Amino acid sequence: MSQARWMLPEGMAETLAPSSWALEDLRRKLLDHYRVAGYALILTPLVEHLDSLLTGSAEDLEQQTFKLIDPESGRLLGLRADMTPQAARVAARHYAHQDIVKLCYLGTVLRATAPEPGQSRSPRQVGCEIFGEPGLGADIEAINLMLQSLALAGVSSVALDLGHVGVYRGVVQHLALSAADEGELFRMVQRKSGPDMRQWMSALGLEASVRQLLIDLLDLNGGLDVLDAAASRLAAAGDTVQQALAQLRAVCEAIQAQPSPPDIHVDLAELRGYRYKTGLVFAAFVADHGREIARGGRYDGVGAAFGEHRPATGFSADINELLRLGL
């Protein structure tokens, strides 16, 4: 038999004992913890109709989704690249009678491309979602549950990164940009490219006060003192920005008040999930690991496409990665 016959596709992996037993132990530990916390476990299919998988918050996943034709119906199907949209569908379809719904899930997802060369395309996604609760208490609960999940996996020295998409939206709404220009600005903010932004602003002839707001947005990241500086430097951006900063401050204070709080880093130019996130965004990091190990945020209205418009927040992580980091 040729070597090519038993080699796995790029980005796919199999897990053998004893690592497979350790993975199963962690799976049980996490799901037991979520059950005690009041979350209902959902088991969703690997394959769904593509338009369902890519509805609402999942539109950004289209390039990551493997597609195939259903031989039974002729409809286009997709292999799930993220379980969060599935949780939103389940909440809208099966739990519409409940004001507040708390769901958890754990399963393999499949992605067409890896986030970076050499990374997995088939993570085992674990996560929790809260539907129907608009208050900051739900965001704080999601953050705490994420941190508890990392602790259960044995991951230590976690840093918490916090942002709020309302800050960026509040600044940009004053610019009256075309769709193309707003897209270019978004990419520069994501790259945190000050020189490119200055050149772009000069070419557009933006007023000096507006230019300063955008430059300040890039600079405002660091410890909690960033929030005080932002309240002053972004005052001209209006009430939307100030309300977002107040929410960030309240969440920071709640997390800091808990036993053994993580180091908190505030980044007002953090735009992960910007196209569908509606408020607070957060992520967990550890030293010497160049990307987040868990992430989440608020995405209100995600169930509207399924007939149930309500607030939502939650987090997810790759249990495979948590196991490696916790060993």
- Across the range 102-127, mean pLDDT stands at 92
- Three-class SS of the chain: CCHHHHCCCCCCCCCCCCHHHHHHHHHHHHHHHHHHCCCEECCCCCEEEHHHHCCHHHHHHHHHCEEEECCCCCCEEEECCCCHHHHHHHHHHHCCCCCCEEEEEEEECCCCCCCCCCCCCCCEEEEEEEECCCCHHHHHHHHHHHHHHHHHCCCCCCEEEEEEHHHHHHHHCCCCCCHHHHHHHHHHHHHCCHHHHHHHHHHHCCCHHHHHHHHHHHHCEECCHHHHHHHHHCHHHCHHHHHHHHHHHHHHHHHHCCCCCCEEEEECCCCCCCCCCCCEEEEEECCCCCCCCEEEEECCCHHHHHCCCCCEEEEEEEHHHHHHHHC
The residues spanned by each domain of the chain are 8-157+309-327, 159-285
pTM metric for this prediction: 0.94
Q: Which of 18-22, 28-32, 138-142, 237-241 has the lowest mean pLDDT?
A: 237-241
What pLDDT was estimated at residue 135?
96
Question: In the structure, what pLDDT confidence band is assigned to residue 303 with cuts at 50, 70 and 90?
Answer: confident
Tell me which of 170 and 130 has the higher pLDDT: 130
Q: What is the pLDDT of residues 185-221, one digit of tens each?
A: 888 888 888 899 899 988 888 888 888 888 998 899 9
Predicted confidence (pLDDT) at residue 29 exceeds the cutoff of 70:
yes
* Average pLDDT for 151-162: 96
Above 60 in pLDDT, residue 282? yes
CATH topology of domain 8-157+309-327: BirA Bifunctional Protein; domain 2 (3.30.930)
Higher model confidence: residue 76 or residue 206? Answer: 76
Fold of 159-285: BirA Bifunctional Protein; domain 2 (3.30.930)
Q: Do domains 8-157+309-327 and 159-285 have the same CATH topology?
A: yes
